[in-house]
Structure 1
Amino acid sequence: MSKVVITGGSGLLGPWVIREFLEKGYEVVNADVKKPEVQLCPTIITDLNDLGQVYGALEGADAFVHTAAIPVAYSHPNEVTFRNNVMANYNILEAAGNLEIKKGVISSSESSYGMVFSRKNLLPKYVPVDEDHPQLPEDSYGLSKIVNEKNAEMIHNRTGMSVISLRLGNIITPEMYKRFPDFIHDPEQRKTILWSYIDARDAATAFRLAIETDNLGAVELNIAADDTSMDIMSKELMAAAFPEVNDFRGELSGYETLLSNKKAKKLLNWQPIHEWRDNIQL
């Protein structure tokens, strides 16, 4: 049995990641600053900004999954968001590398492309946005994700550790689907995230597959559902919200995601299976 330490297991996504690993027979430990509402596995109260505590939390682990972070821009002073997200990520990677842990996954974000929290109405250069799209954030949250991805590359170069950065779309837990009828017919809502979403259960599967897949090195992968979160066809969404963008790098004939997940499917043999239409009545 392999031991996996999951940071942020008391948050929104973390419990779903914990469940995924437990169901597959892993020994799981949650490292978080607070106890979870439901105790799924042992929890070590850990300040991830303290490198010594991170060493203690990772002791004996075979792999780690890092989901803990301030999750959005502007919820805290910019420097607080940047410092917390970068230092926690650095400490996890530094400790894991020195402990000779061979595999890890960190949570990056679609926010790194810059559109999500842009105050200048930044447009996508093309759609679907893939991992090669320019990363042009205006905020410290998006910048922290880019720094974290470079940190993952550095640790891989130094230690050979496989570190996968998952650029997550908007995380949706099952109870959140009830909100969808409020926005699925309004192109202006959710346009800055290109109307993307990812079910927490599918995201959790991606984390597990990233740990189980060998020889990936340091790589960044978009994690999104196959469809948008809207009841409007993707080409119509683009015409309504982003008429200036006409570089379409894939067929848009239905409700296809505009945050490309092809690379993750190919490298992880991953397939999202949860769609919003299966969870609400139109």
Structure 2
Amino acid sequence: MSERIAVTGSSGHLGRAVVDDLVAHGYQVVGIDRSVAPEATHPTYAWEGESVEPLRPLLEDCDGLIHLAAIPAPVGHLPEVVFVNNTRATFAALEAAGSVGIRRAVIASSGSAYGTAWSPQPTRFRQVPVDENHPMTNFDPYGLSKEVDERTAAVMARRHTMSVAALRFHWIATREQQLEAMARQRTGPRDLDDELGSLWGYVDLRDAASACRLAIEAAARSPYGFVPLNVVAADSLADAPIPDLLAEHAPEIEVTAPLGPTQGAYAIGRAAELIGWMPQHSWRDPA
């Protein structure tokens, strides 16, 4: 019998792609979201994202949890709403999962956890490639919520003897969105503070979805406790090489390892080693 995987935030941008990927690989899916999408072809249940008790029965008989439900940016809501919503939902989801015997989970962390993306003042990375040990220097409630989510996941991994992968997704984009971003960059005007804050990173929506499944599968083969993983495209969302861009616009950022002409600024080797994930898609792919 195929495994059952619960997905919170199943109606969202990433959630829909994760559900499709799981179904395509033979899994049964239990969708969980604030509201039930009428077009859903899999069982979907409403959960307000706050309390443990209503979630427990939805997770019964599930083999894994992929927790994606969150406010995805620090804009559009009061700061306290962003922080409390995201951190409370992560605690509740993992506590409910652990309490019903689920021992494999994934949470959606973010590259924003490093603190540069939404900083109200230009905040730079210290060095590239950016690996998972780079310091977090958050100024905004969204990045802080993801930093706290990771601390929560580490506690839950100990509390319930779970494997919990915190996937640090960069900008999750469709191919069309990637090409639109490149067109804007080429025609200008450019926002170099924004580009340096993101270090020209992105990840294809399909690759982000497969990372969730692979993290669940890897934990079945070899439990790994808590681990944060960069989930970022192998290349950069830029025409010029990263070292050239940094030399011109941010020479204070140290380049600690050679980077190829199109190579991205984020280290993704840990995801390859631990869960077997490597990005398969790029904006550079032929049409």
**Do Structure 1 and Structure 2 share a fold, with TM-score over 0.5?**
yes
For residues 60-99 of structure 1, the aligned pairs below 5 Å read 60-99=61-100
SS of equivalent to 1:138 = coil
Pick from 211, 215, 219: which aligns with 2:227? 219
Residue pairs, 1:17-166, within 5 angstroms: 17-36=18-37, 38-166=39-167
TM-superposed deviation, 1:218: 0.4
Aligned twin of 1:201: 206
Paired residues of 1:108 and 1:145 also in contact (CA < 8 A)? yes
Q: Is contact 1:21-1:208 (8 Å) kept?
A: yes
Show structure 1 runs of 5+ residues with no match.
none
For 2:13, the equivalent position in structure 1 comes to 12
> In the aligned structure 2, how far is the partner of 1:187 from the partner of 1:228?
16
Runs of 4+ in 1 over 6 A off after TM superposition: none
1:240 to 248, 255, 266: 248
C-alpha distance in 2, partners of 1:72/1:29?
25
CA distance in 2, matches of 1:241, 1:187: 12
Partner residue, 1:190: 195
Please say which of residues 181-190 and 266-275 is displaced more in the overlay.
181-190
CA shift in 2, pair 1:254/1:37, >3 Å: farther
Question: Aligned with 1:190: secondary structure?
Answer: helix
Match of 2:270 among 243, 263, 276: 263
One-letter identity of the residue aligned with 2:231: I
| Cα RMSD, aligned residues only | 1.6
Equivalent-residue separation in structure 1 for 2:113 and 2:178 (angstroms): 25
Q: Secondary structure at the match of 1:142?
A: helix
Shift of 1:183: 3.2
Question: Separation in 2 of the partners of 1:250 and 1:64?
Answer: 36
TM-score by length of 1: 0.94
Alpha-carbon offset, residue 279 of structure 1: 5.8
Residues of 1 paired with 2:130 and 2:271: CA distance?
13
Query: Per the alignment, in what secondary structure is the counterpart of residue 271 of structure 2?
Result: helix
Aligned mates of 1:168, 1:202 — CA distance in 2: 10
Distance 2:42 2:204 in 1: 22
Q: Percent identity?
A: 37
1:210 to 215, 221, 243: 215
Give TM-score scaled by structure 2 length: 0.93
Helix, strand or coil at the partner of 2:13:
coil
Residues of 1 paired with 2:124 and 2:108: CA distance? Answer: 23
The one-letter code sitting in structure 2 at the alignment partner of 1:164 is A
Give the secondary-structure state (helix, strand or coil) at the position aligned to 1:277. coil
- Mapped contact 1:177–1:276 kept (Cα < 8 A): yes
For residues 160-208 of structure 1, the C-alpha deviation after alignment (integer angstroms, 9 at most, x for no partner) is: 1111100110001233234133234347253311110001111111111
Task: State how far apart, in whole Å, the 2-side matches of 1:242 and 1:37 are.
Answer: 48
Q: Shift in Å at residue 38 of structure 1?
A: 4.2
Q: Which residue of 2 aligns with 1:231?
A: 239
How many equivalent residue pairs? 279
Contact 2:33/2:69, CA 8 A, preserved across alignment:
yes
Q: Give 3-state SS (helix, strand or coil) of 1:144's partner.
A: helix
**C-alpha spacing 1:77/1:121, structure 2 compared with 1 (3 Å):** same
Could you tell me which amino acid in structure 2 is paired with residue 225 of structure 1? A
Distance 1:279 1:39, change over 3 A: farther
